[in-house]
A and B are shown apart, each in its own frame.
Chain A
Amino acid sequence: DVKVTQSSRYLVKRTGEKVFLECVQDMDHENMFWYRQDPGLGLRLIYFSYDVKMKEKGDIPEGYSVSREKKERFSLILESASTNQTSMYLCASSLSGQGIYEQYFGPGTRLTVT
């Protein structure tokens, strides 16, 4: 079974704090993704990585950065948290290359910024 784990299920942070969200997958997947999910807006892609140290901006990268130093680990960083970053954050991973590559999701981190 594919397993994607996220470091925290719930986080409460103050405005201006630096926030780290960690994601680990155990299936040797090349691709990893960070999304945020908000009511009425669906899933929106923040960043994705297709290899170690490689990253590309998604649809809403402003206010976020990422790090992928090892294949199994993908971190999302909120440089200076703001209240509009209160959201559900979802990490996912998938294989790469030709063919069918399904995304597998972690359980999510519910982040509240006060």
Chain B
Amino acid sequence: TQLLEQSPQFLSIQEGENLTVYCNSSSVFSSLQWYRQEPGEGPVLLVTVVTGGEVKKLKRLTFQFGDARKDSSLHITAAQPGDTGLYLCAGPHSGTYKYIFGTGTRLKVLA
């Protein structure tokens, strides 16, 4: 069974701090997506990583896909209150139409 474990579960930090969120699996994924979900809203796609070792940047957010394509990380530099939300990683379940979702990291950035 493919699973995606995220850590930490909860994170509360001050504005301006840096942080890293992890998404780990024992299975290989063909790609991983990262989403941010604000309260009462649907998840919004941030990025897709495809190649082992790939690094993608989206302003202050840096996403990395592990060399073996079993894990990924999201690093936020100089966090802002607008970064507050639930961060989800997800990937396609091999051989099916389904997606596996991570357990989520709930981030709160205090002004």
Contact = CB atoms under 8 A, between A and B. Distances in A.
B97 A50 contact: yes
B40 A102 contact: no
A48 B42 contact: no
Contacts of A58: 98
Given A107-B42, A108-B42, A100 B50 contact: yes
A110 B40 contact: yes
Interface in B66-105: 88, 90, 92, 97-99, 101-104
Contact of A103 (B40, B41, B45, B50): B45
Interface string A42-72: 1101001010000010100000000000000
B30 A100 contact: yes
Contacts, number: 46
Contacts of A56: 97
A58 B102 CA distance: 17
Q: How large is the interface on B (under 10, 10 to 19, 20 to 34, 35 or more residues)?
A: 20 to 34
Nearest to A109: B42
B44 interface: yes
A4 B90 CA distance: 18
Interface in B1-56: 30-31, 33, 35, 40-45, 48, 50
Contacts of A110: 40
Nearest to A9: B40
A37 to B, nearest CB: 9
A42 B43 CA distance: 12
Contacts of A33: 99
Contacts of A101: 92
B48 A100 contact: yes
Contact of A107 (B35, B41, B50): B41
A96 interface: yes
A88 B39 CA distance: 11
What 3 A-B pairs have minimum CB-CB distances, sorted nearest first?
A105-B42, A108-B42, A43-B101
Interface of A: 4, 31, 33, 42-43, 45, 48, 50, 56, 58, 88, 90, 92, 96, 100-108, 110
